[in-house]
Amino acid sequence: MIVVKVGGSAGIDYDAVCADIAARWKTGERLILVHGGSGETNRVAEALGHPPKFVTSPSGYTSRFTDRQTLEIFEMVYCGKMNKGIVERLQRLGVNAVGLSGLDGRILEGKHKDSVRAVENGKVKVLRGDHTGTVERVNTHLIDLLLAGGYLPVLTPPASSYDGVAINVDGDRAAAALAVALKADALLLLSNVPGLLRAYPDETSLIREIPAADVEHYLEFAQDRMKKKVLGAAEAVQGGVRRVIFGDARNGEPVSAALNGQGTVVS
């Protein structure tokens, strides 16, 4: 079992990702695809007159502030346009894909965080009305049912709170939680860079290998969204996933290339 997470940033070639997944699926390999949609969500939110708001926590992590209206725009893009676009690509390639959010069958559950601490102009503020959280529990029953039935699951945030409220969760860490729960052989975190870079954005500074015991020490090289990927990788290896690979989803055969060791391999 391989869990593939593909981001939602500019430059990602979803056609290439889906073609590669379809080819591998047809050989009998079992995969799950988790995707994002952040870039498109920002564009749609701007167009709808409710521009995105990002907050930075005191520990330096950036995340989307998700009020109710933002959550609905988020669902439109992640669960509507992105999810069904990917399912359609896979269906056209003859793969019987099924697109779901973490709300469906409560696949992904966690606590609803209504408030977030954010640094603004050097001061720490508390912002309320947030619909976010962290995946704490993965209910694998529905995924197992789909895989046993011959369906390829295509998953996306939001997740469900323990009370059934939709919460925005980080897609990389959600994929890590899925990989742990499903005892996946590998977790691929694919984005629009070749992997973790020692001197971002210099692509020749790619870090080729990270020892599993040492993942968190590499946080210092991670910029912005890459921080969550490194955190997700640490959580996955701590949870028993033997290989986590940061790979490039911009062209070629992104899944096969990553599994062949191109990118940053954590093992």
- CB nearer to its own copies: give 85 or 261: 85
- What is the rounded CA–CA span in Å between residue 158 and residue 143? 16
Task: Please report how close the Cβ of residue 23 comes to its own copies at its closest, in angstroms.
Answer: 16
Task: Please report how close the Cβ of residue 87 comes to its own copies at its closest, in angstroms.
Answer: 5
Say if residues 31 and 259 touch (Cβ distance below 8 Å): no
- CB nearer to its own copies: give 88 or 209: 88
Residue 241 in tokens:
């996933």
> Which residues 6+ apart lie within 8 Å of 67 measured at CB?
129, 130, 131
* Residue 192 assigned ligand-binding role: no
Q: Tell me the per-residue interface mask from 63 to 102 with its own copies, x by CB under 8 A, - otherwise.
A: ---------x--xxxxxxx-xxx-xx-xxxxx-xxxxxx-
- CB nearer to its own copies: give 79 or 226: 79
The DSSP letter of residue 206 is: B
Which residues within the stretch 101-140 sit at the binding site for its own copies (CB under 8 A)?
101, 103-106
* Number of residues engaging its own copies in binding (CB under 8 A): 44
- Residues across the chain: 267
- What is the rounded CA–CA span in Å between residue 42 and residue 19? 27
Place of tokens 């590669």: 20
Residue 23 in tokens:
């080819």
30 near its own copies, judged by CB under 8 A? no
- CB nearer to its own copies: give 77 or 244: 77
**Residue 187 bridge partners (DSSP):** 3, 244
48 near its own copies, judged by CB under 8 A? yes
> What is Dmax (Cα atoms) for the chain?
54
* Residue 168 assigned ligand-binding role: yes
- Binding residues (CB under 8 A) for its own copies: these are 44, 47-49, 72, 75-81, 83-85, 87-88, 90-94, 96-101, 103-106, 141-142, 145-146, 149, 151, 158, 160, 163-166
